[in-house]
Amino acid sequence: MVAPARCPAILIAAPASGQGKTTVTAALARLHARQGRRVRVFKCGPDFLDPHWHQLASGAPVHQLDLWMTGEADCAQRLHDAAQSSDLILIEGVMGLFDGTPSAADLAQHFGVPVLAVVDASAMAGTFGALAFGLRHYRSGLPWAGVLANRVGSARHADMLQGGLQDADDWMGALMRVQPTSNAPTAGKAGAALLPERHLGLVAAHELGDSRERLDAAADALAATPLGQMTLDDLQRWAVDFPAPAVAEAVPPLLVGRTVAVGRDAAFCFIYAANVQCLEQMGARVEFFSPLHDAALPHCDAVWLPGGYPELHTPQIATNTGMQASLRAHVAAGKPLWAECGGMMALFESITLADGSTAPLWGLLPGRVTMQKRLAALGPQQLAVAGHTLRGHTFHYSTSESNAPVVTRTARPNEAVTPDAGEALYQQGSIHASYFHAWFPSSPEAVAHLLRGVSA
C-alpha cells in the first residue's frame, strides 16, 4: 500500500467574491517560491484566469479541484502527487467559503485542509471579529488556519481589527492596500487594481508587461504579516496527510494517430491544462496554433477552439481571412471542429458589442451573438454525448441566436435535460459548438466522439 504524502497545505477562502483571495494566494506563492521553496497551487472550482497568476507566482502548473466537476478521485490524485514533491500546497477557494455545491468548505473538510479566511476589511472595524468567528464556527469540524485582513488602511486600523477577534491566535496579519508599480492597465474594482479585472474576471498575467512586479509588490506587503513571516517549520502546524488514491483506470487510447489542433492566443485562452493532458493520454498529438495571427490551420485531423475573449479581438478575427478559409476547408472536408463558448462565438456571422456596434465574425455558423452587460449564464453543467456524460460549466456574458440544429442541451448536476434550459449543443456538418466548457477527463469517450466527427 502506498503511504500518505504529508505536506503543509492551506485553503485560502473568503466570505464572498472580490475579497482578495487571488491576490493573497498568488502573493503567498510568490513569497515562498522566491525563497527557493517548492509551491504547488490549485484552484477550487472552474476558473481559467486565476491560474495564470498562480502559475507565474509558483513556477508550477496549476490544476482545478472540484468534488463534482473533476471528481473526488482526481482531486485526491493531484493532491497526493503534489504533496510528494512540494514544500507547500495552496488552494484558492471559489466565491464565498460556503457558497456552491460542492463548496470550498466541502473540499477543505473532505481533505482536512485548514482554511485561511481573507476578509476585505477596508470598511469595517469590530465587525471583522464577528465575521471571522462566524466563518470559523459556522460548520462543525471545519479545519481552520486563521484570518487575514485585506486592504487595511493603517497600522491603527489593523490594531482595531485584531482587537475585535475573540481568539487572538486567529490573527494572521493585515495586508495593506497595494498599488501597481507602473502605468499598466488597472481597470476594475476600486481597491483591486493590483490585479486588474474585466467582465469575465482577472486580466490574465501574460497580458500585462509588469505582472511579475505586481506579484512581487504583493509578496513584499505580505512579508510584513505574521503569515508572511512563517518559516517552513512554522508551516508544519498545517501539515496534512494526503492518502494515496485507488489506482485509476487507464485513459482509453481513443485518439491514437490523430493530431488535434488547439487554438491558443489572447482571444482563445480558456484552456484547462488537464484537458490538454487528457488529449495526450488518449494518444492524440496536440498542435497549438493562433486563430488570430496564423494564416492557416496546422496539418490536423480535428480542431478544438476553446473559449476566451473574441469580443475584444473582433478586428483581427474579421481580417484574418486566411484562417477563416482554412477553417472552412477543414469543415468542408468533414473533419471535426469542437468550439466552446468564445470559440463558438467566433464561428457565428456577427457580434453586437457592448457599445451597440456590430462586427463581422467568421460565419461558419449561421446567426449572431450579442454581448450583455450582465452575466447571461453561470454554473456547473453536464452534457450527454453518445451515451457518455461530460462534466463542466458555463460562464458567459453573451447570448446567441442561430438556426443551426440543436442536437441536445446541457443540464445542471442531477437534473434532466429540458428544451428550455441549459446550453444548446449546435451541430452543423462536422461542427459541434456550445457555450458549455467541458472538463475532458470526466469522459474521454465523449471527447473522442466530438473530435472524431461522430454525431452527438
Secondary structure class of 287 (helix, strand, coil): strand
Residue of 7, 44, 75, 341 with catalytic role: 341
Bridge partners for 5 per DSSP: 242
Q: How far apart are CA 453 and CA 456, in angstroms?
A: 9
Q: Are 85 and 7 in contact (CB under 8 A)?
A: no
User: What's the grid cell of residue 443?
Assistant: 469522459
Q: Positive or negative, the Cα torsion across 364, 339, 279, 261? A: positive
User: What's the grid cell of residue 428?
Assistant: 452543423
Nearest to 176 by CA among 223, 221, 121, 127: 221
Nearest to 235 by CA among 29, 21, 26: 29
Q: How far apart are CA 138 and CA 15, in angstroms?
A: 12
Bridge partners for 381 per DSSP: 392
The single-letter DSSP state of residue 411 is B
The single-letter DSSP state of residue 18 is T
Catalytic residue list contains 341: yes
Q: How far apart are CA 7 and CA 209, in angstroms?
A: 34
Q: Positive or negative, the Cα torsion across 276, 284, 393, 430? A: positive
Q: Are 20 and 175 in contact (CB under 8 A)?
A: yes
Give the ranges where 112-165 is alpha helix by DSSP (H).
127-137, 155-163
Work out whether strand 259-263 and strand 302-305 pair parallel, antiparallel, or are unpaired. Answer: parallel
Show which residues are catalytic.
341
